[in-house]
Amino acid sequence: MSLDTDNRTTSHSIAAPATRDTEARARLKTVLRLTGFRILGAAGVLWAVATLAFFAMRLVPGDPVDALLGGPGNNATEEVRQATRELNGLDRPLLVQYGSYLGKLVTGDLGDSYQLREPVAQVLGEQLGNTLVLAVLALATAWVLALALALWSARGGKVATLVGNLLEVVSAAVPHFWLGSLLILVFSVSLQWLPATSGAPGIEGLILPVLTLAIPLAGFLGQVMRESMLTAMNSPFAISSRARGESEASLSLRHALRHAALPGIGLSGWAMGSLISGAVVVETVFARPGIGRTLLQSVLVRDVPVVLGVVVLVAAIYIIVTLLSDLAERWADPRLRAA
Amino acid sequence: MSTPTHLTKTITDPEEAMTHSIQTPVLDRSPERRGPAEPRPRTRASLVSQAKELFTGLGPGIIVPLVLMLGLVAAAAIPAALAPSGPLDMNPAEAFTAPGTAHWFGTDESGRDVFSRVIHGARSSLLIGVLATVIGLGTAVVLGALAGLGTRAVDFGVSRFLEVLFAFPGLLLALLVITILGPGVVTTTIAVGLSAAPGYARMIRSQVLSVRRSGYVEASIVQGKSRAFIVRHHILPNVAAPLFVLATLGVGQAIVWASSLSFLGLGATPPDPEWGSMLSLGRLYIGNAWWLTFFPGLFIVLSAATTTLLGHGIQRKLKDK
């Protein structure tokens, strides 16, 4: 499917094969170089995130030794404290600790949890799958809902405008914990169709949490997609298509839909981040295991290695998805490639 | 007859997308669609008619949220006058009364009137929302102005810093701040404010940059006007209006976030009538007392929707001018 504003395709097919070859190679080179730069940039941001989080966690009040020995109320002797300090490398200079933290991070070692006495990587490894399933399903659901909404409401008219305005409100004002609770009230308490908790494996337990995460996101994506679609429907190529006698339905399905999807692709990184952050609340509402709940529990007891681990992990996911969505956007939108 | 800027507009970040989508004029409200203006009566009631004109001139997009907002502010200012009983008045004999004429929103497990508690909760929610927005915008103005007005190197540094902060999405930055500062109402406010700051800073930066590159600033530079003059006379007035809109929108968002943190048990502590923590407690009885979950949440939505609608209404108004 060629994008309507891209009329270079015709000139390419006329050009001699040799020119086409060099041109294609040059283009590939540019793409590879750009991709390389983006990957380097992403790695840099990830390093900065890990660094910032590490030093921010040094600001947590209290001696980490107390946390290691089971809370501030412990009555360990000074010798035990000193031994614990040495065992965990807390007696070394801060920069040395930072260096060893970075070194371990590269190999995937996130240290040990104060509370659970387990490697953080292991704790998070067990929980990450649950959260990712939730977030990816919610993202897909939000996409479908938003595209449907955009297609329907871009036709214009009073009702569509009203729905568009309503979307603004839903996406900005409805907190996940209320929406989730309402869904539980309706579908678990009143109708008793679906379980109120999501601990057990199985698809039934996933429906309500996924909807809770997806609906506000769909409201936001729907707004952006609708906007982009309206712009496309009023642009010169759409006018010329109409002049050729193309029907509105075909125009919106064949051409404008692609324009509507573009910002959705570009926003996927941000959406993924906000979904994982929303998972903290949704996993609590539906008593579902996952890194969101792990994070919350660690924040409450100030289990610094776990908080640090979750933060770095989520940032890494965010950065990777943003990188992928940037590249996907470039792939889906030839106009971005021209630069 | 191509319109390149129009066509290459691709939204890459949510903040931009938000402002972009907001700024679209709503066709139904354009002045030419409105009915013919009523002839102005020349009687003494001209003051009344003037007020009326101002009222209709604002349009329902502003009036409705404004009225709701006044109600919320009233609840926050004089809760005792509006609520039938105190927020902590217990009456165990009436525990779990369903909503009715005696108790509009029902009663909770200790027989406390939910309507009274919700009304009393308005003050803390609004206060947290406003203060968090002030903290967030304050930080953002400093960062955004530094990036927008500073040298290329400063801009680069601040922009990279913001990029790093964006990698802590949503509540994550707030949770990080709470890990350091500990839970509580004050720390929640600070955490919500700080986690909203990067988004604001980026918007302020781009706003400052676009004003800075505009023709009238260039003209002032050519005229030899001082830097301070340009900032005061051109940049500030042009950044202030969008900033005001941002602040209005931000209060709603901050209320939602702060109540989420309270819901998670990191903000207000239970006996206090805070909407998020009320809902969190009410959920324990979700099987037999739906009103404990429904009404506190409804007020969160109501107050956040009010500020959102108000912000968008003002934005459209500014756009029309």
State how far the Cα of B134 lies from the Cα of B250, in Å rounded to an integer. 9
State how far the Cα of A140 lies from the Cα of B232, in Å rounded to an integer. 47
* Of B16-20, B146-150, B161-165, minimum mean pLDDT range: B16-20
Q: Is A274's CB within 8 Å of B13's CB?
A: no
A26, part of any domain: no
Interface of A with B in 230-259 (CB under 8 A): 230-231, 235-236
Q: Is A175's CB within 8 Å of B260's CB?
A: yes
Task: Using the predicted structure, report yes or no on whether residue B234 has a pLDDT greater than 90.
Answer: no
Q: What pLDDT was estimated at residue A10?
A: 45
**Mean residue pLDDT across chain B:** 78
For B177-198, what is each residue's pLDDT tens digit? 898 888 888 999 999 999 999 9
Shortest CB distance from A184 goes to which of B266, B286, B305?
B286
A210, part of any domain: yes
Confidence of residue B238 (pLDDT cuts 50, 70, 90): confident
A42, part of any domain: no
Question: Three-state SS for B168?
Answer: coil
Total CB pairs under 8 A between chain A and B:
193
For B38-71, what is each residue's pLDDT tens digit? 444 455 556 677 767 666 666 777 788 888 888 8
Tell which of A38, A47, A153, A177 to mutate to test the B interface (max B CBs under 10 Å). Answer: A177
A215, part of any domain: yes
Q: Which two tokens stand for residue B141?
A: 């103005």
Q: What pLDDT was estimated at residue A17?
A: 58
Question: Residue A112's beta-bridge partner residues?
Answer: A119
A297 touches B at CB < 8 Å: no
Q: What pLDDT was estimated at residue A71?
A: 64
Q: What pLDDT was estimated at residue B32?
A: 42
Q: What pLDDT was estimated at residue A4?
A: 45
Give the closest residue to A207 by CA, choosing from A187, A227, A231.
A187
Higher pLDDT, B57 or B314: B314
State how far the Cα of B113 lies from the Cα of B118, in Å rounded to an integer. 9
For B290-311, what is each residue's pLDDT tens digit? 888 888 888 898 888 888 888 8
Q: What pLDDT was estimated at residue B57?
A: 66
- Count of the separate structural domains present in chain A: 1
φ/ψ (deg, to 5) at A44: -60, -45
For B267-277, what is each residue's pLDDT tens digit? 877 777 888 88
Shortest CB distance from A333 goes to which of B10, B168, B263?
B10
Q: Is A158's CB within 8 Å of B28's CB?
A: yes
Rounded to two decimals, the pTM is 0.80
Query: Which residues from A are below 8 Å from B168, CB to CB?
Result: 49, 311, 314-315
- Helix (H) or strand (E) segment spanning residue B96: none
Q: Is B175's CB within 8 Å of A304's CB?
A: no
Tell me how crowded residue B165 is: count the other CB atoms within 10 A of its CB: 21
A91, part of any domain: no
Q: What pLDDT was estimated at residue B36?
A: 47
A334, part of any domain: yes
Q: What is the pLDDT along chain A (339 residues), one digit of tens a residue?
A: 444 444 444 444 454 556 677 888 887 888 788 888 888 888 888 899 889 888 888 888 777 777 777 666 667 777 777 787 777 777 778 888 888 888 888 887 877 787 777 888 888 888 888 899 999 999 999 999 888 888 877 666 777 777 777 776 777 788 888 898 888 888 888 787 877 777 666 677 788 899 999 988 888 888 888 888 888 888 888 888 888 888 877 777 777 777 778 877 888 888 888 898 889 999 988 888 889 889 998 888 888 888 888 988 988 888 888 888 888 887 777 777 654
Tell which of B179, B256, B283, B286 to mutate to test the A interface (max A CBs under 10 Å). Answer: B179
Interface of B with A in 24-53 (CB under 8 A): 24, 26-28
A246, part of any domain: yes
3-state secondary structure chain A: CCCCCCCHHHHHHHCCHHHHHHHHHHHHHHHHHHHHHHHHHHHHHHHHHHHHHHHHHCCCCCCHHHHHCCCCCCCCCHHHHHHHHHHCCCCCCHHHHHHHHHHHHHCCCCCECCCCCCEHHHHHHHHHHHHHHHHHHHHHHHHHHHHHHHHHHCCCCHHHHHHHHHHHHHHHHCCHHHHHHHHHHHHHHHCCCCCCCCCCCCCHHHHHHHHHHHHHHHHHHHHHHHHHHHHHHCCHHHHHHHHCCCCHHHHHHHHHHHHHHHHHHHCHHHHHHHHHHHHHHHHHHCCCCCHHHHHHHHHHHCCHHHHHHHHHHHHHHHHHHHHHHHHHHHHHCHHHHCC
Task: Using the predicted structure, report yes or no on whether residue B256 has a pLDDT greater than 70.
Answer: yes
State how far the Cα of A216 lies from the Cα of A145, in Å rounded to an integer. 10
Shortest CB distance from B24 goes to which of A158, A227, A300?
A227
Q: Is B179's CB within 8 Å of A304's CB?
A: yes
Q: CATH code at A232?
A: 1.10.3720.10
Query: Which residues from B are below 8 Å from A184, CB to CB?
Result: 286
A293, part of any domain: yes
A157 touches B at CB < 8 Å: no
Average pLDDT over residues B136-163: 89
Interface of A with B in 56-95 (CB under 8 A): 56-57, 59-61
Instruction: Classify the complex by whether its ipTM is higher than 0.90, answering yes or no.
Output: no
Average pLDDT over residues B77-91: 74
Domain with A278 in it: 120-338
Task: Using the predicted structure, report yes or no on whether residue B206 has a pLDDT greater than 80.
Answer: yes
Q: What pLDDT was estimated at residue B9?
A: 39
To the nearest whole angstrom, how far is the Cα of B41 from the nearest Cα of chain A? 32
Task: State the DSSP string of B252-268.
Answer: HHHHHHHHHHHHTTSSS
